Amino acid sequence: MDDRPIGVFDSGVGGLTVVKEIIRQLPQEDVVYFGDTAHLPYGPKSSQTIKRLVRDNIRFLLKKKVKAIILACHTASAFTLEEIREENPIPIIGVIRPGAEEALRLTKNKRIGIIGTYGTIKSRAYSKELKRLEPGAFVIEKPCPLFVPLAEEGWIKKEATKLIVREYLEPLKEEEIDTLILGCTHYPLLKEEIAQVMGEVYLIDSARATVERLKRILEEKDLLAREGVPRHSFFVSDAPERFARLGKIFLGKEIGKVKRI
Amino acid sequence: MDDRPIGVFDSGVGGLTVVKEIIRQLPQEDVVYFGDTAHLPYGPKSSQTIKRLVRDNIRFLLKKKVKAIILACHTASAFTLEEIREENPIPIIGVIRPGAEEALRLTKNKRIGIIGTYGTIKSRAYSKELKRLEPGAFVIEKPCPLFVPLAEEGWIKKEATKLIVREYLEPLKEEEIDTLILGCTHYPLLKEEIAQVMGEVYLIDSARATVERLKRILEEKDLLAREGVPRHSFFVSDAPERFARLGKIFLGKEIGKVKRI
Q: Considering just the CA atoms, what is the radius of gyration of chain B in Å?
A: 17
Q: Are A103 and A130 in contact (CB under 8 A)?
A: yes
pLDDT tens-digit readout, A102-119: 999 999 999 999 999 988
Which pLDDT value is given to residue B239? 84
Q: Are B55 and B84 in contact (CB under 8 A)?
A: yes
pLDDT tens-digit readout, B169-224: 999 999 999 999 999 999 999 999 999 999 999 999 999 999 999 999 999 999 99
CB of B167 within 8 Å of a chain A CB? The answer is: yes
Report the b/e string of A152-170 with b at 16+ CB within 10 A.
bbebeebebbbbbbebbbe
Chain B residues whose CB is inside 8 A of the A39 CB are: none
State the nearest Cα–Cα gap between B164 and chain A, in angstroms: 6
Q: At what angle do helices A159-174 and B159-174 cross, to 10 degrees?
A: 170
What Å distances lie between residue B63 and A4, A188, A208, B5, B214, CA to CA?
54, 48, 52, 11, 20
d(CA B153, CA B93): 28
- A6-95+208-260: CATH architecture: 3-Layer(aba) Sandwich (3.40)
Q: Which residues make up the CATH 3.40.50.1860 domain(s) of chain A?
A: 6-95+208-260, 96-206
Which pLDDT value is given to residue B16? 96
Contacts 24+ apart (CB under 8 A), A80-83: A80/A50, A80/A51, A80/A54, A80/A55, A83/A51
Cβ neighbours, 10 Å, residue B249: 16
pLDDT tens-digit readout, A83-106: 999 999 999 999 999 999 999 999
- pLDDT tens for the 261 residues of chain B, in order: 999 999 999 999 999 999 999 999 999 999 999 999 988 888 777 788 889 999 999 999 999 999 999 999 998 998 899 999 999 999 999 999 999 999 999 999 999 999 999 888 988 999 999 999 999 999 999 999 999 999 999 999 899 999 999 999 999 999 999 999 999 999 999 999 999 999 999 999 999 999 999 999 999 999 999 998 999 999 999 889 889 999 999 999 999 999 999
Report the b/e string of B34-58 with b at 16+ CB within 10 A.
bbbbbbbbbbbbeeeebbebbeebb
* Phi, psi dihedrals of residue A132, rounded to the nearest 5°: -70, -45
The domain over range A96-206 is classified in CATH as 3.30.390.30: no
Question: Is the pLDDT confidence value at A44 over 80?
Answer: no
What topology does CATH give the domain B96-207?
Rossmann fold (3.40.50)
8 Å CB contact of B164 and A159: no
CB of A48 within 8 Å of a chain B CB? The answer is: no
Q: Are B210 and B175 in contact (CB under 8 A)?
A: no
Phi and psi based region of residue A34 (left: phi greater than 0; alpha: psi -120 to 50; beta: remaining): beta
pTM: 0.89
Beta partners for A238?
A: none
Q: Which residues make up the CATH 3.40.50.1860 domain(s) of chain B?
A: 6-94+208-260, 96-207
Chain A residues whose CB is inside 8 A of the B12 CB are: none
- Has A184 been annotated as catalytic? yes
What topology does CATH give the domain B6-94+208-260?
Rossmann fold (3.40.50)
Which pLDDT value is given to residue B48? 84
Share of chain A above pLDDT 70, in %: 100
Burial of B118 per CB tally in 10 Å (0-12, 13-18, 19+) = middle
Question: How does the average pLDDT of chain A come out, rounded?
Answer: 94
Question: How does the average pLDDT of chain B come out, rounded?
Answer: 94
- Has B73 been annotated as catalytic? yes
Which pLDDT value is given to residue A239? 84
Length of chain A: 261
Best of B164, B167, B249 to substitute, by most chain A Cβ atoms within 10 angstroms, is: B164
Q: How confident is the model at residue A47 (pLDDT cuts 50, 70, 90)?
A: confident
CB of A217 within 8 Å of a chain B CB? The answer is: no
ipTM: 0.85
Q: How confident is the model at residue A242 (pLDDT cuts 50, 70, 90)?
A: confident
